[in-house]
Amino acid sequence: MTDIEIDTRGETCPVPLVECRKALKKASEGDEVTILGTHPASKKEIPMACKALGLEIIGVEEKDEEWKIKIRR
């Protein structure tokens, strides 16, 4: 099991969503992908994408404008 972290802070639509999908595509089953960002809409949309992909969100953290979403592949 590997932990993969992607930093999309400062990036705007559609980059956080796309980078998240690219990382999930490369990850193996059981890997944890953490995505870090500041784009407000992506904070809502990454969980939507995970739901559509049938993947589990294992944690969401927020501090000021930054958010961190952890997903199990």
| Total residues found in the chain within this entry | 73
Identified binder of other proteins from the candidate list 1, 2, 3, 22, rule CB under 8 A = 22
4 binds other proteins, rule: CB under 8 A: no
**Cβ proximity of 34 and 68 under 8 Å:** yes
30 binds other proteins, rule: CB under 8 A: no
55 binds other proteins, rule: CB under 8 A: yes
**Cβ proximity of 24 and 33 under 8 Å:** yes
- In this complex, which beta carbon is closest to other proteins, that of residue 25 or of residue 63? 25
Residues that bind other proteins (CB under 8 A): 10-15, 17-18, 20-22, 24-25, 29, 45, 48-49, 52-55, 73
